[in-house]
Amino acid sequence: MWADSVPNLLIGLREGLEAGLVVSILLAALKRTGAKTSPAPIWLGVLVAATLAVGFGAVLTFSRAALSTTAQEAFGGTLSLIAVCLVTAMVFWMRRTARGLSGELSAKVSGAVQIGAGALALTAFLAVGREGLETALFLWTTVQAAGESTAPLIGAAIGIAIAVLLCWLLYRSAFRLNLGVFFSRTAVLLIVIAAGVLAYGLGDLQGAGVLPGHSWLAFDLTATVSPDAWWVTLIRGVLNLTPSMTWLQVVAYLVYLAVVLTAFFRKPKTVAEKPVTEEVEAEPGTPRVRKRWIVVTAAIVVPLLAAGVFALVVPSSQTSNAQVTITASACAPDSGSLTAGQQQFTIVNKSGRSGEIYLIHTSDGGVIGEIEGIAPGTQRSMPVNLTAGEYAWRCVMSGVPVQTSATLAATGAGGLALPAVLPVRDGDLDGPLKQYQDYVTPQLSTMATQVDALRAALSGGDVGGAKVDWLQAQLTWERVGAAYGSFGDLADAIDGQPNGLADGVNDKDFTGLRRIEYGLWHGQSAADLAPIADQLGQDLATLRQKLPAITADPADLPIRAHEILEDALRDKLSGNSDQGAGSAYQETLADVEATRVVLDELTPLVNARRAGLVAAAKTDLDTLEAALNATTASPRTAPPAQRQRVNAAIGQALETLAPIPDLLEIRHA
C-alpha cells in the first residue's frame, strides 16, 4: 500500500510548489508596491481556491459513488483521460512561462492594488484556483487507479507540506532552488505517472464497455507472478502497471511516453531563445539530449527488467497468507487457485466502500469464512481450513450490487472437513419471528391481569398479597424474553434497573417492576407504591396498544436464543438485578422457558445447518432446569453445592447455544 503514496507525493510536491510559488510571488509583489495594503485579500483568495478544489474532489467522489459499477468505470476512465490531458498541458505551460511568471503576477498585483481588496483577492483566486482544480482531479484519478485512498492521500499531504515549507523558505530568502531544473526533472516523472493513469483510464473504459478489447490481453502474468509481491506492488504503485494489461493499454502507454517525452525535450522556439551556441546543446541528437533519453529509458525499463529477473530467479514462495484484493469494479480479481489445508488470507479492501467478504462453497453457497465491516483502505486476516473442492469469493459492499469471483478449485489431500454455514437470507427468519410475536401477545395480556391484581393489592394495603402478585408479573415478563429488545424506552419503564441513574433507587426515572420490588422488600408503604403500580399499568397498556406496529429486527431472534440466558447469568445469578425479593432462580427458570420457545421457532433453520445442535441444547436446558428446581433459596443464601450446579449447568447451556447467532446470521448476498 505504501507504494501507492509515491506518485501522489510527487504530485503534491510539484503542484503544491507551483501554487505556493504563485502565492509567494503575490505576497512579495504586494510588499514591493509599497502600498499599505493588507495581504488578507490574497489569503482570502487562496482559501476560496483551496475550498473550491476540495469541493471539486468531494463532488467527484460522491458523484461516482451514486453510479452503478459499470457507470463508475466509465466515469473514472473519462476523468482519467481528462486529467492526463490537463497535466500534460500543465507540464508544457510551466516550462514555457516559468521564467516570466513573477513579472506577470507582479504587474497584476500592482493593478489590483489600485482597484481594491476585491481585485487583489480575485487575482489570488484565479492564480491558485487553476492549480488547485488540476491537483484535485489528478489526485482523484490516481486514488482511483490505486484502488484505495489512505496511502495516496498521505503521500499527497506529505508532498504539499514539503512544498509549503519550501515556499516559505524561498519567501524568506532562506533557501535557494533552481526552479527550472526542478520543474524539468519532475516533469519527466510526472509524464511517466500520467502514462500509467492513461493506461488505467483506458482499462476502466474497456471494463465499462465504452471501448472494445477488454479481453484482448497483451500479457497476463497473474498465473506466474504473485500480485501481492512487494516488487509488483512497487511497480503498480509508482508506474500504474499491472501483471495483466490489454493491447490498448500497452500501446497507449508506450505511444504517450514516446510522443510527450519527445515533444518535451524539443526546445520550444520562443522570443526569449538563447543564442545558437546554447541552443545546439539542447537539440535532439546531441550528447546532452541522448543522455536525457538514456536516463528516462533507464527510469522506466530498469525496474521492469529487475522485476522480471527477480521473478525468474527467485521462486514464488508458497505462503499460507495469500492476499485477496477487493477493488471498486471486481471481487477478488487477483485470486488464483487454492490449496487444501489450513490457510490464512489477507483481505485488502481497495473498493472505496465498506462491506462484508465471504468465502463460499459454489455448490450450495455455504460460508467457509467471512469478514464483516471491513472499512475502505484497510486489510484484515481470514483463517480458513479448506478441503478439496470448488470455492468463490463473494463481496457485499455498501451501495453496489453483490459481486462474486470466478470459481476457484482447491486441490490437495489436506484440510479438515468443517461444516459450511448455509447462508440465511432476507425472509428466512420472517416466519419464526411472526410465530414469536404471536406468542408474545397473550403473554402481555396475562401480565396485564397480574399487574391489575398487584394494583388492587396495593390499593387495599395488602403488602403480602402484593409481593405474590409482583412475582407472578415479573416471571411473565421474563417469559416474554426475546421480544423486550424491541420495546425501547417502554422496556426500561416496565422493568428498568437503577444502575446508572443519578440518584440510584431514589431516582424519579426508576420505575416499573424493579422499583415496586425495591419498595415492597424495603418497608415502603402500599400507599407510596400504588402510584408506581398505576404508572406500570399505563406503560404496559401503551405497550400492548403499540405492539402490532412495533417492527422487530429478524436478525435479533437468533441472538436472543443465546442472550436471554446470558442476561440471566450476568444480572440475575450475580445478584445485580435483585432489589430484595431474592427470586433470581425463579426468574432464571422463566428465562429457560423463553429460551425454549425461541429455540423451537428456530429449530428447522438450525437443524439444516448444524444437525444435533438443538437436541444438545435442549438436553442442557433440562439439566439447568433440574438444577434450578433443586434450589430452595436465592443465589446469595443457597448452599455452595447448589450454586455450583446451577452455574455449571448454565455455563454448559450457553456454550452449546453460542453458535446459533453465527449460524443464523443474515448474509445479504
State the Cα–Cα distance between residues 421 and 424, nearest whole angstrom: 9
DSSP state of 404: E
Residues of the chain under the 50 pLDDT cut? 1, 101-103, 105, 109, 112-115, 174-175, 228, 270-285, 303, 307, 310-320, 669
How many CB atoms lie under 10 A from the CB of residue 72? 22
pTM of the entire structure?
Answer: 0.47
How many CB atoms lie under 10 A from the CB of residue 575? 12
Terminus-to-terminus CA distance in the chain, angstroms?
28
CB 18 within 8 A of CB 182: no
How many CB atoms lie under 10 A from the CB of residue 538? 12
DSSP state of 419: P
How high is the pLDDT of residue 278? 34
- Angle, helix 150-171 to helix 5-32, in steps of 10 degrees: 30
CA distances from 142 to 131, 184, 366, 376, 512 (A): 16, 21, 37, 16, 60
How high is the pLDDT of residue 273? 41
> In sequence order, which residues have a C-beta less than 8 Å from that of residue 193 and are 6 or more positions away?
7, 10, 11, 142, 238, 239, 240
CB 482 within 8 A of CB 434: no
| Angle, CA of 339, 345 and 351, to the nearest 5° | 125
**Half-sphere exposure of residue 451: CA atoms within 13 angstroms, side-chain side:** 25
Placement of cell 467471512 in the chain:
370
DSSP state of 542: H
State the Cα–Cα distance between residues 241 and 243, nearest whole angstrom: 7
State the Cα–Cα distance between residues 102 and 3, nearest whole angstrom: 35
State the Cα–Cα distance between residues 437 and 647, nearest whole angstrom: 30
Strands 338-339 and 408-411 come out as parallel
